[in-house]
Amino acid sequence: MIVNIPYWTRVIKNIVYVILLIVGLYLTLKLSIFYMPFLIAFIISLIIEPCIKFIMRKTNLTRRTSSIMIFILVTIVILGILSWIIITLFSESSSLLQSLNDYFDKASTQLQSFIQQFDFDKIKLSNEILNIVQESTGDFLQTVSNWLKNALNGLVNIITKIPEIAICVGITILALYFICVDKIYILDQIEYHLPKTWVRRLSTHLKDLIKTLGGYLKAETTLILVSFVISLVGLYVLTFLKFNIPYPLLMALFIGFVDALPILGSGTVMIPWAIISGLNGDLSLGIAIVTLFIIMSIVRQFLEPKLVSKNIGVHPIFTLIAMYTGFKITGVIGLLIGPIVLIIIKNIFANLIDQGVFKTIFDKK
């Protein structure tokens, strides 16, 4: 038997190349989490860079002066928003924790009442299956209750981590200052210390990655922020109008989080909320929530075509697989990270994907 040495050498080389890229991506993600304050500062610097250039163009000021002006404004806004969110979250989370058992007792009672009133004889269910349904309902509610308690306890425990949060915020602000003011110097230093071939390859990949992933994240962040602000303002307006919404900030954050998940959207939260409110006899609240959802949907549909490129090239089934994989690996936050990693992988392996991954690796041509 004759072994085709050149062919298998090329195959092994391609496989090693793919493995090294995947390991590199994994290490990059781990380092990104470890150096999260610097990553956040870098993302904020990308967002405010157009503002800095605008000030420079309109006023003829130096980059340093323009950066300091925008930096001070952004820092004031960030610190103000963070202070309000932490205080309000602590208050609402503590209140919800105290009332959580009552809410789930009511939900359990209503579900058990519905099961008892439902005519199971029509669908010919045995008593054993009926008992399993009732027990499963109780287990499900208990699981949801425990999950919510853990999440709320985590929010309440934020108060014990204020020194750690303050250090991270301080480092983020300092990093943001240096990145904005000394951006040219930092880029020159990176280019000086790296080999030219690395710089060329990195610049090529980074340009493509910033164009696809950066554009996607910027657009999605804008849409999520718009949805969050509309839901927050709407819920506070409804609270002011004496509707029964005891935790407007928590609900707005939850709506914003679900709206951030690909495939899903704010309707996943708001439609069931409206239906449950109507079934509980608060029809006016249900109508108000549906109205707020319609307003959010109209605004999103108006903005989305202008912000989000439809040519990212990731089919919803692969996005769903990425969300599930991220969830199984890192938990709830993986629902957000999964699709982002998918876009990064698609960008890095663009040539392999376009030509056919296994065809490129194993083809004898």
Q: Is the pLDDT confidence value at 99 over 70?
A: no
> What integer pLDDT is reported at residue 331 of this predicted model?
74
The mean pLDDT of 232-256, rounded to a whole number, is 85
Q: What's the DSSP call for residue 124? A: T
Q: Is the pLDDT confidence value at 355 over 70?
A: no
Confidence at 25, pLDDT banded by 50, 70, 90? confident
- The residues, any chain, with a CB within 8 Å of residue 9's CB and separated by 6 or more, are none
Confidence at 350, pLDDT banded by 50, 70, 90? low
- The residues, any chain, with a CB within 8 Å of residue 162's CB and separated by 6 or more, are 86
State the alpha helices, DSSP H only, in the chain: 5-34, 36-59, 63-117, 127-156, 162-181, 183-193, 196-209, 215-240, 248-260, 267-279, 283-307, 316-330, 334-348, 350-355, 357-362
Q: Is the pLDDT confidence value at 57 over 80?
A: yes
Q: Which amino acid is at 67?
A: S
Q: Is the pLDDT confidence value at 255 over 80?
A: yes
CB 338 within 8 A of CB 250: no
108 vs 323 pLDDT, higher one: 323
CB 26 within 8 A of CB 329: no
> What integer pLDDT is reported at residue 311 of this predicted model?
46
pLDDT tens digits along 76-89: 988 888 888 878 87
94 vs 351 pLDDT, higher one: 94
Q: Which of 50, 47, 80 is nearest to 169 (CA)?
A: 80
Percent of the chain clearing pLDDT 70 (strictly above):
66
Domains of the chain, residue spans: 37-193
Distance CA 324, CA 260 (A): 15
Confidence at 31, pLDDT banded by 50, 70, 90? confident
pLDDT tens digits along 178-208: 888 887 777 777 777 777 776 676 676 677 6
> What integer pLDDT is reported at residue 102 of this predicted model?
65
> What integer pLDDT is reported at residue 343 of this predicted model?
77
> What integer pLDDT is reported at residue 76 of this predicted model?
92
Distance CA 81, CA 159 (A): 16
> What integer pLDDT is reported at residue 92 of this predicted model?
74
Distance CA 252, CA 235 (A): 8
> What integer pLDDT is reported at residue 34 of this predicted model?
85
Q: Which of the listed ranges 70-74, 122-126, 159-163 does the model predict with the highest average pLDDT?
A: 70-74
